[in-house]
């Protein structure tokens, strides 16, 4: 009997699926649909009658267990493993000269301004990114979109902390056209393999922009946040978890902003809303993010991140931009962003603990047992317990019980690091 080669067996089974929908687009037999699982996570479902076991879904999936192990092995062999993916690039500090656009953006608004330049100069025919959508508790609050109007670029700045299914948009791309696409590093790796392995994408050009990523969460994260802040669920709401207003003291103190068509439901500093605590402790984190070896988005043409540290004293925020594709360097310089050149040594140590957790520790996380000394020390065990317990308890008992019990679980999980 032939062995099954599909993403259910090789990705979903190991809790490594990020729900990007690239497997669905890769499948030539239309055997895959994207559904939501018991925790509201987007995940593929395979129709066995249609599946031909060709393995294309597996080839394009960025997160099969084997693919993650391969990446982790590659990273282990280089001298500065936290900086894997930063070699031979150009590094910049960048910020949008338009104050309003910068305020609406996540960091310095570099992505929006660069996309605007590419679009206005006919270098792209559209931008594949994400927009906020109205929804009740339990609904998804973000959606992948294709923008072909400049106003839609501006309206949809900022970061979406939720998994995004790109399948619907990707199936609509047209031959011989060029697009600009944003995504977390895992999604960008998937796009690169889709272009390489699926003939339908051979004549489509996608300029890829990775949003450098510590981790992502499932949709329970936003639901839980709204419940612990006692928000009503009578009307649909939209969410901006990186909201900036005129009262900002520095970029680090962004706000969580949740609103209906008529009212503002939440406008709270991220340290007061509970967001920072949940985020830093990996509540509702996607399973894949715990094993992901890719902080810098190393396959992307460009990677962009928050300029934390000394640069965060600017309340409107700044972006750090890494340009790997030298053809794009000229466009970036011409894009009317305010820019300063940065040095490799500064970038490689920027947000060092996250780069170490994701990249340097990726070998231990992908090859050694969860209870091994290295995985207790590096925090994997702790985050594994917190992310899985929060998902399960919240699903069964709701928010108030979960929050109380999770405080105890957190202490126990942290204790594991010291053993
Ligand atoms: C899940 C996640 C985790 C992150 N973690 C870190 C981190 O640990 N450290 C760090 O320095 N930076 C992190 N970032 C990146 C940071 O939040 C900003 O996205 C980045 O600095 C770009 O800011 P900007 O102001 O230049 O972009 P903007 O001008 O605000 O434009 C951002 C563009 O990206 C699109 N977009 C937003 N979210 C998504 C998404 N999930 N998928 C696809 N497109 C999207 C928007 O629609 C918009 O077009 C993370 C981003 C995400 C989405």
CATH of 81-217+283-352, one of 3.40.640, 3.40.50, 1.10.287, 3.30.70: 3.40.640
Task: Report pLDDT digits (tens) over 382-404.
Answer: 999 999 999 999 999 999 999 99
CATH code of domain 7-62: 3.30.70.20
With a 6 A CB cut-off, is 189 part of the ligand 1 pocket? Answer: no
Regarding the beta carbon of 212 and ligand 1, being less than 6 Å apart is answered: yes
Nearest protein CA to atom 34 of ligand 1, as residue: 182
Which atom belonging to ligand 1 lies closest to the Cα atom of 156? Answer: 47
Of 88, 85, 145, 131, residue with least CA distance to 292: 85
> Using CA positions, which residue lies closest to atom 41 of ligand 1?
160
Question: What's the chain's length in residues?
Answer: 419
Identify the pLDDT of residue 1: 52
Q: What is the pLDDT of residues 14-55, one digit of tens each?
A: 999 999 999 999 999 999 999 999 999 999 999 999 999 999
pLDDT score, position 419: 66
pTM beyond cutoff 0.85: yes
Q: Is the beta carbon of 130 within 6 A of some atom in ligand 1?
A: yes
Residue 54: the pLDDT is: 94
Number of other residues whose CB lies within 10 A of the CB of residue 167:
21
Ligand 1, pocket-test mutation among 115, 141, 211, most atoms within 8 A of CB: 211
Residues 246-256, mean pLDDT to the nearest whole number:
96
Instruction: Name the residue with tokens 């679980």.
Output: 409
Q: Which helix (H) or strand (E) holds 414?
A: helix 399-418
Residues 88-141 have pLDDT tens digits of 999 999 999 999 999 999 999 999 999 999 999 999 999 999 999 999 999 999
What DSSP character marks residue 224?
A: H
Report domain extents, the chain. 7-62, 81-217+283-352, 371-419
């Amino acid at each position: 009997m032939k062995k099954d080669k599909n993403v259910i067996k090789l990705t979903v089974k190991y809790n490594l699926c990020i729900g990007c929908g690239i497997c669905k687009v890769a499948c030539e037999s239309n055997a895959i649909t994207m559904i939501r699982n018991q925790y509201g996570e987007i995940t593929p479902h395979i129709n066995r009658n249609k599946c031909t076991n060709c393995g294309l879904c597996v080839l394009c999936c960025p997160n099969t267990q084997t693919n993650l192990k391969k990446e982790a092995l590659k990273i282990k062999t280089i001298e500065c493993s936290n900086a894997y993916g930063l070699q031979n690039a150009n590094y910049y500090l960048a910020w949008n000269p338009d104050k309003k656009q910068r305020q609406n953006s996540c960091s310095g608004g570099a992505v929006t301004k660069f996309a605007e330049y590419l679009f206005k100069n006919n270098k792209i025919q559209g931008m594949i990114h994400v927009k906020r959508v109205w929804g009740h508790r339990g609904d998804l609050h973000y959606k992948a979109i294709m923008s072909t109007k400049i106003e839609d670029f501006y309206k949809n700045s900022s970061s979406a902390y939720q998994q995004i299914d790109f399948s619907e948009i990707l199936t609509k791309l047209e031959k011989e056209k060029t697009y600009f696409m944003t995504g977390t590093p895992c999604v960008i790796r998937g796009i690169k393999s889709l272009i390489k392995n699926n003939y339908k994408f051979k004549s489509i050009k996608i300029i890829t922009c990775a949003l450098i990523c510590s981790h992502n969460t499932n949709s329970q994260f936003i639901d839980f946040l709204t419940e612990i802040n006692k928000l009503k669920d009578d009307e649909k709401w939209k969410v901006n978890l990186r909201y900036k207003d005129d009262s900002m003291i520095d970029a680090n103190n962004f706000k969580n902003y949740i609103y209906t068509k008529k009212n503002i439901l939440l406008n709270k500093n991220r340290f007061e809303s509970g967001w920072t605590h949940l985020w830093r402790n990996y509540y509702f984190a996607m399973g894949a993010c715990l094993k992901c070896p890719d902080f810098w988005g190393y396959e992307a043409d460009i990677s962009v991140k928050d300029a934390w540290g000394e640069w965060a004293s600017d309340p409107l925020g700044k972006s750090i931009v890494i340009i790997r594709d030298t053809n794009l360097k000229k466009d970036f310089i011409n894009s009317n962003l305010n820019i300063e050149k940065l040095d490799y040594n500064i970038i490689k140590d920027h947000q060092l603990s996250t780069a170490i957790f994701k990249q340097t520790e990726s070998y231990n996380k992908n090859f050694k047992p969860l209870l091994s000394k290295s995985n207790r020390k590096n925090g994997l065990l702790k985050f594994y317990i917190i992310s899985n317990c929060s998902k399960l308890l919240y699903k069964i008992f709701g928010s108030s019980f979960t929050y109380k019990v999770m405080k105890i679980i957190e202490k126990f999980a942290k204790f594991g690091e010291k053993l």
